[in-house]
């Protein structure tokens, strides 16, 4: 029950952030997320390092919103995105993959009345979440290989990078399917 409450709170907070238009409240939420991270003994250094990776996307979104909606809206959406990132980071560091998949599985329980197999949903969510670090490593390896070859990273090179990554993903998916079948888990 604790995990369900934590998950629902996470979803509600993430959605409500985009309805707040006052910078004072947004600032308080930002400070609250930092205090929560400190209370939960999460390293602020890791939060900042991961935020650096997200920063170009946030800046791009801010600039687009400044152009089309004005300075206030641009900075507001950027701040909202940073707070959403903080909340997501805190949730992901305080929950395991198993807890997240079990929580979603429990929330999907009413689908059983429509003859939907919620165990399959749980397995799919677990596999999906576990594949994120694998994908990240594959992309990093492919980009590093391109840099070693002296190629510039651009749109054309990303198309070249995506082909081996997609092949690798399909191979890993096939391996997982074979493993699940070998362990006598019925096909998804």
Task: Provide the residue range defining the domain that includes 153.
Answer: 113-182
75 falls within a domain: yes
- Per-residue confidence (pLDDT) for residue 188, from 0 to 100: 47
Share of the chain above pLDDT 90, in %: 16
Where among 95, 123, 147 does a domain terminate?
95
Shared-domain flag, residues 8 and 87: yes
Same domain for 63 and 125, yes or no, is: no
Phi-psi region of 121 (alpha: psi -120 to 50; beta: other; left: phi over 0): alpha
User: What is the reported pLDDT for 67?
Assistant: 92
Inform me whether the pLDDT recorded for 142 exceeds 60. yes
DSSP 154: S
Our count of domains for the chain comes to 2
State both tokens at 77. 């959406």
The answer to whether residue 16 sits within a structural domain is yes
> Do 13 and 89 belong together in one domain?
yes
- Each residue's pLDDT tens digit, 94-137: 888 888 888 888 888 888 888 888 877 777 787 888 788 888 88
The verdict on residue 188 lying in a domain is: no
Number of neighbouring beta carbons within 10 Å of residue 100:
20
Q: Both 53 and 121 in a single domain?
A: no
Evaluate whether residue 104 is within a structural domain. no
The residue ranking higher by pLDDT, 73 or 154, is 73
* Close Cβ partners of 147 (under 8 Å, ≥ 6 residues apart): 153
pLDDT attached to residue 111: 87
At which residue do the structure tokens 């576990």 appear?
Answer: 130
Q: Which of 95, 126, 146 is the last residue of a domain?
A: 95
Contacts 24+ apart (CB under 8 A), 117-123: 120/188, 123/180, 123/185, 123/188
Q: Using one digit for the tens of pLDDT, what is the confidence trace for 150-182?
A: 877 777 777 777 888 888 888 888 887 787 777
Would you state the pLDDT for residue 51? 86
From 95, 122, 143, give the residue that closes a domain: 95
- Indicate whether 53 belongs to any domain: yes
Per-residue pLDDT reduced to its tens digit, 27-50: 898 899 889 888 988 888 888 888
CB 134 within 8 A of CB 172: yes
């Amino acid at each position: 029950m604790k995990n369900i409450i934590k998950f629902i709170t996470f979803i509600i907070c993430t959605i409500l952030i985009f309805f707040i238009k006052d910078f004072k409240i947004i600032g308080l939420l930002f400070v609250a997320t930092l205090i929560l991270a400190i209370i939960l003994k999460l390293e602020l250094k890791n939060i900042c390092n991961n935020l650096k990776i997200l920063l170009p996307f946030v800046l791009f979104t801010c600039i687009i919103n400044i152009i089309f909606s004005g300075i206030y809206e641009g900075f507001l959406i950027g701040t909202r995105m940073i707070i959403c990132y903080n909340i997501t980071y805190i949730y992901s560091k305080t929950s395991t993959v198993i807890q997240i998949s079990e929580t979603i599985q429990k929330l999907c329980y009413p689908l059983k009345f429509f003859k939907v197999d919620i165990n399959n949903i749980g397995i799919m969510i677990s596999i999906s979440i576990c594949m994120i670090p694998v994908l990240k490593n594959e992309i990093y390896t492919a980009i590093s290989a391109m840099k070693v070859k002296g190629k510039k990273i651009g749109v054309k090179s990303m198309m070249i990078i995506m082909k081996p990554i997609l092949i690798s993903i399909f191979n890993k998916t096939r391996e997982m399917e074979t493993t699940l079948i070998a362990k006598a888990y019925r096909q998804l």
